[in-house]
Structure formats: C-alpha cells, structure tokens
Copies of this chain bind each other. A is one copy, B any other.
Amino acid sequence: MTDALVVGAGCSGLAAALSLRRAGVRVRVLEARDRVGGRVLTRWLADGTQLDLGAQWIGPTQHLVNALVDRYGLATFPSAAYGASVVVWEGARRRTEPPGAARVLDLLDTYAARLDPAAPWTAPEAARWDRTTLGDWLAATAPDPVTARYLGRLLAGGLLAVSPDQVSLLALASYLASGGGTSSLLPTTGGAQQDRIVGGPAALAEAMAAALGPEVVRWGAPVVAIEHDEAGVVAHTDVGRFEAAAVVVAVPPALAGRIRYAPALPALRDGLTQRMPMGSAWKTHAVYPEPFWRADGLSGVASCAEGPVTETVDSGTPTSSRGVLTAFSYGAQANALRRMSGPARRDALLDALATVVGPAARQPDEVIEYDWSADPWTRGCFCGVLTPGSLSEYGPYLRAPVGRIHWAGTETATRWAGYLDGAVQAGERAAAELLAGL
C-alpha cells in the first residue's frame, strides 16, 4: 500500500509528491496523460526554437518556483525586451495607455491591499465586491469608456483569460492581492513575465518528475473515482485501483468536480466546482525568419483595447534567430476565434499582429496554436475563475480538506494563484496538511 496518492502530475501535484517523499512518505502520482506538466507544454520547432504553448514565465518574487529552478540547475533567460511597447486604442497604435488607466490601477491596488488572499471572503466589502463585475465597476470608475474597455481586457483578460463581465471585482482584487498587485503582475521586467526557463516550464516539471524517480508517476491513469473513509482512500483509474492513507487532488476545481467520490462530497464543495470554470484563452505563436519588429524599435509587446487580440509579446529566445510573436485572446474574443475556420482565424490573428508590428506580420513561416479548452485533461486556461457572486459564497470550500482528500492546484494557492509559483505553493501546502493528518 502506497502511503499517499497524488492526482495529476502538473507542477502542483509534483510539488506535493516531492514534499511527501521528503517527509518519508511513499507516494504514487496518478497522471491521465503520458507526460508530466499539466498546463505546461513545450513545442520545439525543427530548428530548435522553443515555444511555450502553456505557462511561459516566472517572475522575480516567485520564490518557490525560482528555488526549484535553482535546485534542478535549470537555466533561465530574460524575456525579450528590445524596444518600445505599444497600446492599441481608438483605432490607432500608440505609445501610451489611455490617460486614466494608471489611476484606476492604483485604486484597484488599494482594494487588493485590503484583502487577505487566503480568505478574501472575510473582508467587510466582500459580498458587495463579489456582486459587482469588474466590467461594471470599470464602467462606473474609469474616467471614460476607452479606459474602461482597455483595463477590462488587460485585467480580466490578461490576468484571468475571461471577459470583464465574467469576473467579480472581489475575485479580481483577490487575484491582484495574491500576486503582489498590478506592479508585480503586469510588467515584464521586474514582474511576472520577467524570465523564462530554457526548455520551458515543462523542463521544470520533467526535472521534478525525475527527482521523484522512475516508479512514482503512473501514466495513462486518469482518476475517475475516489472512495474515501476514515481508514484511507482508493483511487480508481483506467489502469487499476490504488490504495493509500490519503490523497492530494492536484487538478483544477472544474476537473476535480468530475471525479466521482464515494461518499459524495458535501453540497458546498461540489457547488464550488460547479462555479469555477476554466478561463478561455487562445494563444497563437506566429514564427518569422527574424524578429523584424526590433529593427523598427518595437518590443513586440502590445496591449489592445479592441480587436480579436488583447496582448502580444516577443517570445523569441537567445539561442534562436527566428522571430516569435505571441498573441493572446481572451473570453469572448477567444471563443470567437475558436468558432472560426482555421484560415479565417489565421487571417484575423495576422491582421491584428500587423496592427501592432506592421504588415510584415502577415507573412509568418509558421503559426502554432494549442487549444487548452479542447484538451480534456485541462479544459481551459490560464486557470479556474469563480463566477461573480461565488467567491464570497463558495470560496471557503476551495482548500478545505474533505476527510482524507486534500486539494492542490494553482487555483488553491494563497500566493501567486494562477501561476507556476502558486502551483508549487499549493502542492506543498496540501502535502503538509496531509502529513499533519497521517
């Protein structure tokens, strides 16, 4: 009998397994796929150019993930930042944000500072802020509609991959609190998009799995049911049943809700999983012979208040001469792209890139997409987002263990939730909880 099980070999599950192993617990990680990493995935072009199809960056205050990068001797490199960033609003490419944006971001940071990211529902304003969508709040607070639309896309989209009307002010402010505020979350240099890992975050996941050893991760083993009682747990998978004293479930809440539990989970825990859909992002890598925008003094970084693409970045690497421009679309825009034919989507995306870096964007060598919403073992990205009104009501059930079942996954982190760092924190916290209960 294994002492503990972990469901899901993403970075959160692997972090949990490593913590458990370090404490002397025998552990088995049950993974649906034939790879580790969950929402991280590296694609290598024929010439060796690295594309990060899922999670891409680590930031300077993400201490847990940086410590793992050091421990496993992985190399990092700074995100490309060679020229000027642009902002697209009211039909034109500009060098500055809409003028009222900074003040609204400051106000949001003061809201975030009033929240405990481990229990945002305890704030006096919680119920009121949870009833208000970010979109409504911005419409009432921003000095003009352009600023409201720009910030709605930047924040709801760029941080959570949803439309501004699909997240409450409370959930957004709580996310800001978890990541150290807008000055920590939004920038490239000095912020959450500062650095990248050679080999991508997938290299970190692989190093974590290698540290666990060859017998620990069981492949092709989606957990379809968990029986649990005071004596232990039994997980049922496609490749048999696994018994243990306890389990860490390290998949997103929406997917955790699809596992069949016996006895059934309490109403409010189940209700949480019904109300935390995955974000909806569409991430496109357009690959060019060279990063032609740099010669024009452009960084390739853009934020767009209109059009199908909300953000672009230069995803080039120091070891490749090719130019990689990455476009992010969110919420309704991502779904609109999803509904298009491949050629129509390609045209729409390349048109948007041309607005940012000029017409040469229309001639890529390759366009690489990966739809995490179509992947049955992830079903959306970046992460699960509680619907308006749900964080204040169901938030307390996000982390609370149910008997011998503990919950990990970046959604359950209290610091850097939604990021690799949060995945690690959540895994280590769930492991500590499990150990305390053994």
Could you tell me which residues of chain A, from 149 to 174, have a CB within 8 Å of some CB in chain B? 163, 165-166
Nearest chain B CB to A333's CB is how many angstroms away? 11
14 contacts between A and B (CB under 8 A): A163-B393, A166-B388, A222-B260, A258-B258, A267-B373, A267-B379, A268-B335, A270-B373, A270-B374, A271-B280, A274-B379, A332-B393, A335-B393, A387-B388
Nearest chain B CB to A308's CB is how many angstroms away? 15
Q: Flag A126-167 by CB within 8 Å of B: 1 or 0 each.
A: 000011010110000000000000000000000000010110
Alpha-carbon gap, A296 to B16, bound state (A) = 64
Contacts A133-B133, A268-B339 supplied; 9 other A-B pairs, CB < 8 Å: A130-B165, A163-B393, A165-B388, A165-B389, A258-B260, A268-B335, A270-B373, A271-B380, A335-B393
In this assembly, does A254 line the interface, its C-beta being within 8 Å of a C-beta of chain B?
Answer: yes
Q: Is the pair B268, A277 in contact by a Cβ cutoff of 8 Å?
A: no
Q: How large is the interface on A (under 10, 10 to 19, 20 to 34, 35 or more residues)?
A: 35 or more
Task: Spell out A's residues near B (CB within 8 Å).
Answer: 130-131, 133, 135-136, 163, 165-166, 222, 224-225, 254, 257-258, 260-261, 264, 266-268, 270-271, 274-275, 277-278, 280, 331-332, 335, 338-339, 371, 373-376, 379-380, 387-390, 393-394
Interfacial chain B residues near A264, Cβ < 8 Å: 374-376
Known A-B contacts A338-B268, A388-B388; A260 and B224 likewise in contact (beta carbons under 8 Å):
yes
Known A-B contacts A133-B133, A135-B131, A165-B388; A274 and B267 likewise in contact (beta carbons under 8 Å):
no
Nearest chain B CB to A429's CB is how many angstroms away? 24
Alpha-carbon gap, A257 to B373, bound state (A) = 13
Nearest chain B CB to A251's CB is how many angstroms away? 13
Nearest chain B CB to A160's CB is how many angstroms away? 13
Interfacial chain B residues near A338, Cβ < 8 Å: 267-268
A389: contacting residue among B163, B275, B373, B380, CB under 8 A = B163
Interfacial chain B residues near A267, Cβ < 8 Å: 338, 371, 373-374, 379-380
Alpha-carbon gap, A376 to B274, bound state (A) = 12
Interfacial chain B residues near A225, Cβ < 8 Å: 224
Nearest chain B CB to A7's CB is how many angstroms away? 15
- Sort A-B residue pairs by CB-CB distance and give the 4 closest, nearest first: A267-B373, A274-B277, A264-B376, A131-B165
Nearest chain B CB to A389's CB is how many angstroms away? 5
Nearest chain B CB to A416's CB is how many angstroms away? 23
Alpha-carbon gap, A331 to B393, bound state (A) = 9
Interfacial chain B residues near A270, Cβ < 8 Å: 373-374, 376, 379
Nearest chain B CB to A172's CB is how many angstroms away? 14
Question: What residue of chain B has the Cβ atom nearest to residue A377's Cβ?
Answer: B264
Alpha-carbon gap, A344 to B339, bound state (A) = 50
Q: Is the pair A373, B271 in contact by a Cβ cutoff of 8 Å?
A: yes
Alpha-carbon gap, A279 to B131, bound state (A) = 17
Q: Is the pair A254, B277 in contact by a Cβ cutoff of 8 Å?
A: no
A166: contacting residue among B268, B371, B373, B389, CB under 8 A = B389
Known A-B contacts A373-B267, A374-B264; A275 and B387 likewise in contact (beta carbons under 8 Å):
yes
Interfacial chain B residues near A275, Cβ < 8 Å: 277, 387
Nearest chain B CB to A293's CB is how many angstroms away? 31
